[in-house]
Amino acid sequence: MTLTAPTASAATALASFCADLRWDAVPTDARARTAELVLDLLGVAVRGRAAESSRAVDAFVRTQPAGAAWAALAMSASAHATEMDDVTTES
Contact 90, 40 (CB under 8 A): no
What does the alpha-carbon distance between residue 74 and residue 23 come to, in Å, rounded to a whole number? Answer: 27
Q: How confident is the model at residue 82 (pLDDT cuts 50, 70, 90)?
A: confident
**pLDDT digits over 22-74, tens only?**
999 999 999 999 999 999 889 989 999 999 999 999 999 999 999 999 999 99
Question: What pLDDT is stored for residue 72 in this prediction?
Answer: 94
